[in-house]
């Protein structure tokens, strides 16, 4: 009896699967430690003196030395690194000099807005990017294929901030199709009770349909602008993978047996590029979380990107490092999740 590729993958000895899992977890741990070391190094290479920020420009030498001792900066580097990790384990990212609040509290307040924007943009990019790539691979060289290549080129070449400013000018100032910058109008922003931190969910839970519609009116334009970046990558890479898979022998055999092009594409080719698609979507989502800085700045979106931008302008080192650590951790975890899903869905990787 013939054994399928999936059965063959799971029929491997248990120790091989355990070894793969352990290796992946160790790789993830090493990468996270590397990220911690990188942010720790940035804090020491920063031209901003943290002691001077706390003590002030006119502090005496005794006060300066005391603050330096309290921060542990007079200790050896390895001791400082261990102290840095210990504080992170307790959720202590330091105190923001801009907001005078713990950085962890600021990130918990701003990160939901970034997740909401990036998730909606990712849904938009995945739906339209996958559809466009399938249509382009279904009829290569057609008008749809040319549109797919144009969208990919547009998403990669046009700066996000320029598209954002152009979108605000056209859809907000001229056509009035968008509600403009921010998450809500002023009449709603102070009456909304933040239960989850996600404006769409909170406005829907408020029971006020006008507030919910206003949240959607503010959200759709930055979602489309940010989603074009991910949509370009998904369309380009998935189209290339589908066309490459279309030239293999089993596709030629299926066509010789009389199977339709659409059936071959959906039943045979698409499942074989699913691992590539999972990787592209996961990395695109991480890129949206990381690349939302310009979009949030243009649209005055109160997320981590705007928080990081304000921190950079104010030389707020704890806020910069905390934001970098959060976004970097998301990137690493999403990459690890993509590898795990690819290993589970594609027998060729096992």
Nearest to 292 by CA among 181, 160, 175: 160
pLDDT tens for each residue of 31-73: 888 888 888 887 777 777 777 767 776 777 788 788 777 777 7
Tens of pLDDT, residue by residue over 323-341, are 888 988 888 888 888 888 8
Which pLDDT score is estimated for 3?
Answer: 40
pLDDT score recorded for residue 9: 47
pLDDT of residue 16: 67
| pLDDT at residue 4 in the model | 40
Residue 207's pLDDT is what?
Answer: 87
Structure tokens belonging to residue 25: 């977890």
pLDDT one-digit tens code per residue, 148-167: 888 888 888 888 888 999 99
- 58: which residues sit within 8 A by CB, 6+ positions away? none
pLDDT of residue 2: 38
Listed as own residue / partner, the contacts of 250-254 with beta carbons closer than 8 Å and 24 or more positions apart are none
Distance separating alpha carbons of residues 272 and 254, to the nearest angstrom: 15
As a whole-number percent, the residues of the chain with pLDDT over 90 amount to 29
Which of these, 133, 98, 141, 126, lies nearest to 322 by C-alpha position? 98
pLDDT-derived band at 348 (thresholds 50, 70, 90) equals low
Give the angle 166-170-176 at the CA atoms, nearest 5°. 140
pLDDT on residue 11: 46
Q: Give exposure, 167-182, as e/b (b: 16+ Cβ within 10 Å).
A: bbeebbeeeeebbebe
Mean pLDDT throughout 280-308?
A: 87
Answer whether residue 139 shows pLDDT above 80. Answer: yes
% of the chain at pLDDT higher than 70: 91
The answer to whether residue 191 scores a pLDDT higher than 80 is yes
- Does residue 279 register a pLDDT over 60? yes
- The pLDDT of residue 157: 84
Distance in angstroms (rounded) separating the CA atoms of residues 182 and 189:
9
Amino acid 267: pLDDT = 86
Chain segment 14-26, per-residue pLDDT in tens: 666 677 677 878 8
Task: Provide φ and ψ at 95, rounded to 5°.
Answer: -110, 130
64: CB partners within 8 A, 6+ apart = 51, 52, 55
For residues 129-151, give the mean pLDDT. Answer: 90
What token pair was written down for 63?
């006060």
Kindly indicate the confidence band of residue 291, based on its pLDDT and cuts at 50, 70 and 90. Answer: low
| Nearest-angstrom CA–CA distance, 189 and 180 | 14
Q: Which of 57-71, 207-221, 268-282 has the highest mean pLDDT?
A: 207-221
Concatenated DSSP letters of 137-148 = HHSTTSHHHHHH
pLDDT of residue 299 exceeding 90, the answer is: yes
CA distances from 263 to 65, 258, 318 (A): 74, 10, 55
pLDDT of residue 133: 93
Average pLDDT score over residue span 228-247:
90
pLDDT band for position 134 (cuts 50, 70, 90):
very high
The confidence score (pLDDT) of residue 5 equals: 44
Interval 228-234 mean pLDDT: 90
């Amino acid at each position: 009896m013939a054994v399928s590729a999936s059965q063959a993958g799971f029929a491997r000895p248990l120790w091989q699967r355990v070894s793969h899992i352990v290796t992946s977890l160790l790789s993830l741990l090493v990468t996270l430690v590397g990220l911690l070391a990188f942010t720790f190094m940035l804090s020491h290479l920063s031209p901003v003196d943290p002691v001077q920020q706390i003590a002030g420009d006119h502090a005496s030498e005794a006060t300066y030395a005391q603050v330096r001792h309290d921060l542990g900066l007079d200790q050896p580097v390895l001791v400082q690194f261990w102290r840095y990790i210990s504080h992170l384990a307790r959720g202590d990212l330091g105190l923001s000099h801009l907001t005078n609040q713990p950085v962890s509290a600021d990130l918990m307040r701003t990160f939901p807005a970034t997740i909401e924007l990036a998730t909606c943009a990712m849904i938009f990019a995945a739906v339209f990017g996958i559809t466009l790539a399938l249509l382009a691979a279904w009829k290569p060289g057609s008008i749809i294929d040319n549109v797919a290549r144009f969208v990919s080129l547009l998403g990669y070449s046009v700066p996000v901030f320029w598209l954002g400013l152009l979108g605000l000018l056209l859809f907000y100032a001229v056509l009035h199709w968008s509600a403009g910058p921010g998450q809500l109008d002023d009449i709603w922003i102070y009456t909304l009770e933040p239960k989850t931190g996600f404006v769409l969910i909170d406005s829907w839970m408020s029971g006020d349909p006008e507030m919910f519609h206003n949240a959607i009116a503010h959200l759709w334009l930055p979602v489309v602008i940010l989603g074009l970046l991910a949509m370009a990558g998904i369309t380009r890479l998935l189209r290339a993978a589908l066309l490459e898979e279309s030239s293999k022998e089993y596709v030629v055999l299926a066509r010789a047996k009389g199977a339709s092009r659409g059936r071959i594409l959906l039943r045979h080719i698409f499942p074989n590029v699913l691992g590539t698609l999972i990787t592209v979507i996961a990395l695109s989502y991480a890129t949206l979380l990381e690349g939302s800085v310009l979009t949030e700045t243009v649209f005055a979106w109160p997320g981590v990107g705007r928080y990081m931008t304000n921190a950079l302008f104010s030389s707020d080192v704890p806020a910069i490092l905390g934001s970098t650590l959060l976004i970097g951790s998301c990137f690493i975890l999403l990459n690890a999740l993509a590898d795990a899903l690819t290993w589970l869905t594609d027998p060729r990787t096992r």
